[in-house]
Amino acid sequence: MESLYNFNMTEILAFTLVFLRLLGFVVTMPIVGTVNVSSSTKALLALIMTSIVFSQVGWNKITADIESMTIITLAVKEIFIGVSFGFLARLFFFAISMAGQIMSVSLGLSAAQLFNPTMGESATALDQFYVLLATLFFLAINGHHFLISGIFDSFQLIPLSKTSVSLLGFQDIGETAHKLMAFALKLSAPILVSILFMNVAIAVVGRTVPQINILITSLPINAMAGFFVLFISMPLLIWQMSDLLNLATAEMFKFLKSY
16 Cβ partners below 8 Å, 6+ apart?
Answer: 75
Q: What is the pTM of this model?
A: 0.75
The one-character DSSP state at 158 is S
- Other Cβ atoms less than 10 A from the Cβ of 138: the count is 21
Task: Write out residues in the chain with pLDDT < 50, as ranges.
Answer: 1-4
- Tell me, what's the pLDDT at 2? 43
Structural domain spans, the chain:
2-258
What confidence tens digit (pLDDT) does each residue in 26-46 have?
Answer: 888 888 877 777 888 888 888
- Tell me, what's the pLDDT at 1? 40
- Alpha-carbon distance 87 to 25, whole Å? 8
Start-end of H helices in 29-69: 39-53
- Tell me, what's the pLDDT at 16? 84
